[in-house]
Amino acid sequence: MKIRSGFVSNSSSSSFVVRRCDLSKPKCPVILTKSQEKALEKYGFRRTCAHSNGQLPPFWDKTAWSKETKNVKAIRDFNYGYEITCNQDEVIHFLIQKKVPFIALCHYGHSTVIYDPETDTLTTGVNYGAIMEMHGTERENTDFYKNPVKTVSGKEWLQKNKI
């Protein structure tokens, strides 16, 4: 486990959305098991109306989350949201182990990570616009930029990123 204490100036933030229902199918069937939902809530995921990471209220904003909680009670097809500063690999590890589908916006939005447990596929894509906003248009010619989309199996990711 990576532990950081005190002020960390180079820390990044990541956010996760776990879609609870399959909106592409009639009647939006719930795709998570009760045990997956319990595990998410125990881990700290919150119920949300958000369907994408950009819609999540900031986790530190108690007023926004109070409103979000009221909104969630009024609908059946809520999702789960989570936000973290540093250590997004621990969250990804947890979700893959539990076979929970997710969408993550990692490292200030520089990449999007999508996991499909049915195929055990983890796909990572570079978000060039977010990188340009932060660093400008002149970047090193690294592998990160040469291969903007990478796909690995969840099993392979877990072996490579042991927690």
Q: What is the pLDDT of residues 2-35, one digit of tens each?
A: 444 444 444 578 999 999 988 788 888 889 999 9
Average per-residue pLDDT for the chain: 84
Domain of residue 89: give its range.
13-160
Residue 5 lies in a domain: no
Residue 4 lies in a domain: no
What residues contact 162, with CB distance under 8 A and at least 6 apart? Answer: none
Q: Quick one: average pLDDT of 118-129? A: 91
Count of structural domains, the chain: 1
Better-scored residue on pLDDT, 49 or 74? 49
Residue 105 lies in a domain: yes
Q: What is the pLDDT of residue 8?
A: 43
Q: What is the pLDDT of residue 35?
A: 97
State the number of CA atoms in the 13 A half-sphere of 8 facing the CB.
11
Which of 126, 130, 123 has the alpha carbon at shortest distance from 150? 123
**Both structure tokens of 108:** 């200030």
Q: What is the pLDDT of residues 31-71, one digit of tens each?
A: 999 999 999 999 999 999 888 888 888 888 889 888 888 88
Sheet (strand 111-116) strand order: 46-48, 79-85, 13-18, 102-106, 111-116, 121-126, 149-153
Model confidence, pTM: 0.83
Better-scored residue on pLDDT, 137 or 89? 89
**Both structure tokens of 52:** 């994408």
Residue 150 lies in a domain: yes
- Among 79-83, 107-111, 118-122, the minimum mean pLDDT is found in 107-111
Residue 8 lies in a domain: no
Which of 14, 27, 17 has the alpha carbon at shortest distance from 77? 27
Residue 142 lies in a domain: yes
